[in-house]
A and B are shown apart, each in its own frame.
Chain A
Amino acid sequence: MAVQQRDWNAMPDEEFRRFFRNWLIENCPQELLFMRKQRPHYEEVKVFYHNLARDGFLAPLWPQEYGGMALNPTKHMIYVEEWARLGCPRIPDHGIGLTGPLLLHYGTEEQKQYFLPKIISGEHVWCQGYSEPGSGSDLASMRTSAVRDGDDYVINGQKIWTTLAHCANWILLLVRTDKEAKKPQQGISVLLVPLELPGVTVRPIPNLRQEADFCEVFFDNVRVPVSALVGEENQGWTLAKAVLGHERIFLGAPTRPEYALSRLQVLAEARGAFNDPAFVSRFAKLRLDVYDLGSAFERFAKVLRDGGELGPDVSVLKLFNTELYQRITEEMLAIVGEEARFNDDLEAGDTMIDAMNLYLDSRAPAIFGGSNEIQRNIMAKAVLRLPG
């Protein structure tokens, strides 16, 4: 592998931006740009994934010794921005964004040596097994259990809403290892589990857009060796929370609303909506909401750049972002009149706009990553310190 070992952080920001943008233009296949699918499967974006891996661009935050770029927050922001601006597809990134950082912080040397290269090579595709039918917002109540039996854990239970489990081969699993713990948070552990084991069943669940992005995953006496444990037993909750770290800011990055707004603009131009002062007024509101989200994002990004830690207040970005995304897609339907009855894409000059796809998709981000109500609850307590 001709991995580029360079000190990216030493490069001036604008030079890095130009460099990475050109690299993406050359290495992301044209047909993958602005994909209709929000969560393409590994097989669909394999070429791009391997180009990223080949040149050492797959894992922006990992240390270079594990094939990462070790970008500082500013450079990472540029990396994310250019990716979104060019319309490069999302790759199955649970290995890069979740399992990788977890192992880097809490994994044994052996786990790091075994797993990290396989993430980089694409051999292991990971998914995130946290939510259960009875445990969504109240994740700590989860019941999927792992019981010690000699040198093994025996896993029983069910996960649900597991994004891309049907095209992953490993799952990062939260399990209950102590049913007697004083607080439910205290009896949870993290296990690394291959999905190909006997007793594991994966069933895709078609979503509102009729795409099978998430799945149910069943565990029936599934055996894994105790070496599958990450960190210490019963410390899984703390681990899982810590890993989120500064990645939380990206739940609020303006990229999704920016993209939706750009689609709205193309659609509106094609339909002559800019001749309608009422539309222009509504568009202006949305435009400035996107613009101001950028300013608010910068306010938090600066904290990171200055080496600080993000507080619970960063969730304000996620709220504004997800609700703005919804308002923009609602406006798309409002300007197409009778055509909002169709399920397929809409013509706008010589391009097609996936207005309905975006409208339906925009329901999801307000639910996942901690629903907007849960975020408001947290901020009411942790930011405003309201009583109760």
Chain B
Amino acid sequence: MPQMIFDDTDGTLGLLRDSVATFATRFPGAQRLRQRRAAGTDLDREVWAGMAEAGWLGLTIPEELGGAGLGAREQSVLSEALGRELISEPLAFLAVFSGALLSEAEATVERERLINGLIDGSLIVSPAVQAANGSIAPIEASASGDGIKLSGEAHYVNAAASADEFLVLAAINDEQALVSVPAASAEISQRPTLDGSQLGKVSFSGVSVGADRVLAKGAAVDAAIEKAVASTRLALAAEMAGIASRELEITVEYTSQRVQFGKPIASFQVLQHKMVDMWADAEFACAAVVNACERLEEDDPKAATLAILAAKARAGDASVTVGRRAIHLHGAMGFTDECDIGHFMKRAVALNSALGQPEALRLEFVALERAA
């Protein structure tokens, strides 16, 4: 069955996979997702604490900053495994995105405080960097004393109600700054998501933060954002590759034991062909993520960016279409809330829509490739 294939000489990747499998017996993904949905919350604190304890939140944060200092392969294997288990806390945003931003930030006391809290789970640090149309866009700001004053909104903010700190992009005249803003100073409104969580709109009306909360300025901000977007897209791609693979497996299992007309429905040729196509989609998704990890290890940033765009688009399409077909092959059972397969498909749609849907990513790929 599909899986991302990497050399695993020191066994780290195997250990990561095993630790997710063990974690899932403690916190079964689908069950916790339903619980969180019923509670109407945007973060399962117990699961999050477990993730911190497992050492996953600082996986790719450099060792000198207190993280595990691992790379894209390890993050991808972790995300793939979480996808397979439908463990749906927003690790890609609260750990990968925020972790990348903070790792790139200036070495200040505030940076240290945030990064330590992020890694040990004691602080929920959520990026609040997207505009209503989904693009990464700064909030209007002005100088105020030695700090800055923010007025504006950020959208699609993960765990907005649970967050302690937001990482906010601010534009003061023409200069950008990355600042941390106490969550308590923002007004938050939330909407339910397809994957049983909530996404927030975060509004700041004249919120002042001191100079000590400025984490980066100018060109360094763009670099940090670029890094954060790329790593998060890759983590999402890996998670979706895991989802696609598991959707296929569940469907193969189900159709092999479901008997109609005196035989397992998996024995009907039409179903076999459909499942072969689903398998091919999942395989391609895994291969695309592996390719992106490998390109990242080379010294060609453009090739790496292209590979990540391709991987997110491929894995996104795969996880969503495999999910839709999986539901269909489950018959009416697939149309229930009780059956896990629907939750995989919904999770896939949600992740596929985060930080760029496939068509937008493909257009970005071609534009970047053609740019001299």
Contacts A337-B360, A338-B130, A373-B270 given: A210-B327 contact, CB under 8 Å? no
Nearest 8 interchain pairs by C-beta = A338-B134, A340-B353, A138-B260, A206-B337, A341-B350, A343-B192, A161-B332, A337-B134
List, in ascending order, chain A residues with CB within 8 A of B355's CB.
338
Scoring A residues 117 to 153 as 1 if CB is less than 8 Å from chain B, else 0, what string do you get? Answer: 0000000000000010011111001000000000000
Find A344's partner among B133, B192, B328, B338 (CB 8 Å cutoff): B192
- Interface stretch, picked from A52-60, A245-253, A309-317, A361-369, is A361-369
**B223 located at the interface, meaning its Cβ lies under 8 Å from any Cβ of chain A in the complex:** no
Find B354's partner among A135, A333, A338 (CB 8 Å cutoff): A338
**B334 located at the interface, meaning its Cβ lies under 8 Å from any Cβ of chain A in the complex:** yes
Name A's B-contacting residues (CB within 8 A).
131, 134-138, 141, 160-161, 205-208, 210, 214, 278, 326, 333-334, 336-344, 356, 359, 363-364, 366-368, 371, 373, 376
- B192–A334 touching, CB < 8 Å: no
Given contacts A207-B337, A208-B334, A341-B350, 11 further A-B contacts (CB under 8 A): A136-B332, A138-B260, A160-B332, A205-B338, A339-B134, A339-B353, A341-B195, A343-B192, A344-B191, A366-B328, A367-B328
Expressed in whole angstroms, the Cα–Cα distance for A247 and B334 within the complex equals: 26
**B73 located at the interface, meaning its Cβ lies under 8 Å from any Cβ of chain A in the complex:** no
CB-CB nearest in chain A for B337: A206
| Interface core residue of A135, A160, A342 (most chain B CB under 10 Å) | A342
CB-CB nearest in chain B for A282: B359
- A210–B193 touching, CB < 8 Å: no
List, in ascending order, chain A residues with CB within 8 A of B155's CB.
338
- B353–A208 touching, CB < 8 Å: no
Q: In chain B between 243 and 273, which residues have their CB closer than 8 angstroms to a CB of chain A?
A: 259-262, 265, 268, 270-271
Q: In chain B between 326 and 341, which residues have their CB closer than 8 angstroms to a CB of chain A?
A: 327-328, 331-332, 334-338
- A363–B327 touching, CB < 8 Å: yes
**B32 located at the interface, meaning its Cβ lies under 8 Å from any Cβ of chain A in the complex:** no
**B357 located at the interface, meaning its Cβ lies under 8 Å from any Cβ of chain A in the complex:** yes
- B353–A337 touching, CB < 8 Å: yes
Secondary structure dominating the interface of A: mixed
Contacts A342-B191, A342-B192 given: A334-B359 contact, CB under 8 Å? yes
Expressed in whole angstroms, the Cα–Cα distance for A353 and B334 within the complex equals: 25
Contacts A138-B261, A333-B353, A371-B331 given: A341-B156 contact, CB under 8 Å? yes
Residue contacts A-B, CB under 8 angstroms, 22 given: A134-B259, A135-B260, A136-B331, A137-B261, A138-B260, A161-B332, A208-B335, A333-B349, A337-B356, A338-B155, A341-B193, A341-B350, A341-B354, A342-B193, A342-B199, A344-B191, A344-B192, A363-B327, A364-B335, A367-B331, A371-B328, A371-B331
Expressed in whole angstroms, the Cα–Cα distance for A234 and B270 within the complex equals: 33
Q: In chain B between 1 and 39, which residues have their CB closer than 8 angstroms to a CB of chain A?
A: none
List, in ascending order, chain B residues with CB within 8 A of A366's CB.
328
Find A208's partner among B134, B261, B342, B356 (CB 8 Å cutoff): B342
CB-CB nearest in chain A for B259: A134
- B192–A363 touching, CB < 8 Å: no
Expressed in whole angstroms, the Cα–Cα distance for A278 and B363 within the complex equals: 11
Name B's A-contacting residues (CB within 8 A).
130, 133-134, 155-156, 191-195, 199, 259-262, 265, 268, 270-271, 324, 327-328, 331-332, 334-338, 342, 349-350, 352-357, 359-360
Give, as a whole number of angstroms, the nearest-CB distance from A248 to chain B. 20
List, in ascending order, chain B residues with CB within 8 A of A368's CB.
332
CB-CB nearest in chain A for B332: A161
CB-CB nearest in chain A for B268: A373
Give, as a whole number of angstroms, the nearest-CB distance from A8 to chain B. 37
| Interface core residue of A333, A336, A376 (most chain B CB under 10 Å) | A333
CB-CB nearest in chain B for A209: B337
List, in ascending order, chain A residues with CB within 8 A of B156's CB.
338, 341
- B328–A210 touching, CB < 8 Å: no
- A343–B193 touching, CB < 8 Å: yes
CB-CB nearest in chain A for B194: A343
CB-CB nearest in chain A for B360: A337
- A337–B194 touching, CB < 8 Å: no
Contacts A205-B336, A367-B331 given: A373-B261 contact, CB under 8 Å? no
CB-CB nearest in chain A for B353: A340
CB-CB nearest in chain B for A210: B337
Give, as a whole number of angstroms, the nearest-CB distance from B360 to chain A. 7
Expressed in whole angstroms, the Cα–Cα distance for A329 and B335 within the complex equals: 16
- B336–A207 touching, CB < 8 Å: yes
List, in ascending order, chain A residues with CB within 8 A of B268's CB.
373
| Interface core residue of A356, A359, A373 (most chain B CB under 10 Å) | A373
Give, as a whole number of angstroms, the nearest-CB distance from B328 to chain A. 6
Find A207's partner among B335, B354, B359 (CB 8 Å cutoff): B335
Expressed in whole angstroms, the Cα–Cα distance for A367 and B359 within the complex equals: 29
List, in ascending order, chain B residues with CB within 8 A of A339's CB.
134, 353
| Interface core residue of A136, A206, A326 (most chain B CB under 10 Å) | A136
Give, as a whole number of angstroms, the nearest-CB distance from B358 to chain A. 8
List, in ascending order, chain A residues with CB within 8 A of B354's CB.
338, 341
Give, as a whole number of angstroms, the nearest-CB distance from A318 to chain B. 14
List, in ascending order, chain B residues with CB within 8 A of A364's CB.
335
Expressed in whole angstroms, the Cα–Cα distance for A138 and B260 within the complex equals: 6
List, in ascending order, chain B residues with CB within 8 A of A160's CB.
332
